[in-house]
Amino acid sequence: MFQEKEQFLSRNEIEQVQLEKLKKQVKHAYDNVPMYKRKFDDLGLRPEDIKTLKDVAKVPFTVKNDLRDHYPYGILAVPLDEVNRIHASSGTTGVPTVVSYTEQDLNTWSDLMARCYSCAGADDRDIIQNAYGYGLFTGGLGFHMGAERLRAMVVPTATGNTKRQIRMMKDMKTTVLCCTPSYALYLIEALEEEGVDPEELSIKIGMFGAEPWSDETRKHIEKSLHIKAQDLYGMSELYGPGVAVECPEQDGLHIWTDEFLVETIDPDTGDVLPEGEKGEIVFTMLTRQAMPLLRYRTRDLAVINWEKCKCGRSHPRIMRIKGRTDDMLIVGGVNVFPSQIEDILVGIEELGEQFQIILETAKLDHLYVQVEVSPQFWGKVDLSELSAKVGKSLQESLTLRARVELLEPGTIPRTQGKAKKVIDKRKVI
């Protein structure tokens, strides 16, 4: 099977590989990236000071702004003519974050993505429909290269044209579907509208990622499409998709730690947290040539579990991404994560999957939640009773009063990429 060996490295073997690669990578970054040389010199740190894995805590952090400050080409450690490709994320703050790859980087990324497919249960006989966006976004090309490396067959539908997606799924007998969980939800509705019974499809596995999604959403997708819905994590700065993925146990996402050294830190103090504590995830890329990132702060919050998984893999697991440090909303002085609101809403049977959080400014910050009623319940429930029930649940969990508006199924705009679940109107007022 593809990259069988790397998937099943023991913790000891992982740590050996990590130390060997870490030493080389720190030297590569120090020797070739002026920013790292400066950061190290300021601390009086030399690459030779990194002798054990624990020494990584001495290395200065890298943050997204370091990349933005190096626009357009990012933190290059190789001459430009050795760069084979760039990707970029649009960024809400204006300056795009550009990431660069050498030929070897693209190769490593393809291997990692092939490994993800294999870990999730796919193999070279699969027909993989890739409905992630192709282009500057890393989703499309990342899933594409990985599928080719796996020697499976790719149907590169990209995003959009839902009718054609469904036609391809049926006619090509797609067995693996790759898209955001939001788009999977939309496809389920579209299949129903088109009168296509999911039984007619051949899909077995969904590879869903690029945004947070809940266990309830997973259950809904699995039940509606009769598939196994696997979570996959990544980010553009870390090649793209392919950093971590679920195995069939669906008990956390295995991080490929022979390529990504992972730490959890306290986002406020920067201190390394003991194993198993929730914190901000920090990655050091161990072989990236074009753009070596040392201790990159992802702003993603999660718990890392180092216990060996039932599947036999020792690569530690991210126990689902619980939100981002920069996603945290402060409403009337209370800290709220959109994922907390989602958890409450999905627990109410009468509601659909689609919701939006709108922050308004009245005298105090105001939380306003719009949520669709589930099609089975629309027209059958008393809306004022239901909205009072939703408001009460939100208040109990968040200690915050929210205005709830129940919407007819299909009202909230559907997305083909990442869903925009929070609309913050406070900034523009």
300: contact with ligand DLL by CB under 6 A:
yes
Among the listed residues 234, 279, 292, 338, the single contact to ligand DLL using CB under 6 A: 234
Among the listed residues 3, 18, 165, 236, the single contact to ligand DLL using CB under 6 A: 236
Beta carbon of residue 102, minimum distance to ligand DLL (angstroms, whole number): 19
Among the listed residues 124, 148, 211, 343, the single contact to ligand DLL using CB under 6 A: 211
Among the listed residues 47, 96, 209, 352, the single contact to ligand DLL using CB under 6 A: 209
Are 58 and 271 a contacting pair, CB within 8 Å? no
Beta carbon of residue 392, minimum distance to ligand DLL (angstroms, whole number): 28
Task: Label residues 264-294 b or e (16+ Cβ within 10 Å = b).
Answer: bbebeeeebbeeeeebbbbbbbbebbbbbbb
132: contact with ligand DLL by CB under 6 A:
yes
Site string for ligand DLL, 72-91 (x = CB under 6 A): -----------------x--
Reading the block at residue 405, the tokens are 């508006």
Among the listed residues 56, 120, 210, 341, the single contact to ligand DLL using CB under 6 A: 210
For 200, phi and psi rounded to 5 degrees?
-75, -15
Among the listed residues 240, 252, 267, 279, the single contact to ligand DLL using CB under 6 A: 240
Within residues 269-298, the interface with ligand DLL by CB under 6 A covers 298
Which of 235/381 has CB closer to ligand DLL?
Answer: 235
Are 386 and 393 a contacting pair, CB within 8 Å? no
Q: How far is CA 251 from CA 120, 136, 313, 319, in A?
A: 12, 31, 12, 7
Among the listed residues 233, 256, 283, 296, the single contact to ligand DLL using CB under 6 A: 233
d(CA 264, CA 267): 9
Which of 47/252 has CB closer to ligand DLL?
Answer: 252
Instruction: Provide the β-strand partners of residue 176.
Output: 128, 205
Tell me, what DSSP letter sits at residue 21?
H
206: contact with ligand DLL by CB under 6 A:
no
**Residue-wise DSSP of 145-207:** HHHHHTT-EEE---S--HHHHHHHHHHTT--EEEE-HHHHHHHHHHHHHHT--GGG----EEE
**How far is C-alpha 318 from the geometric centre of its chain's CA atoms?**
11
138: contact with ligand DLL by CB under 6 A:
yes
Q: Which residues contact 223 (CB under 8 A, 6 or more apart)?
A: none
96: contact with ligand DLL by CB under 6 A:
no
Interacting residues with ligand DLL (CB under 6 A): 89, 132, 138-139, 209-212, 231-236, 240-241, 298, 300, 321, 324
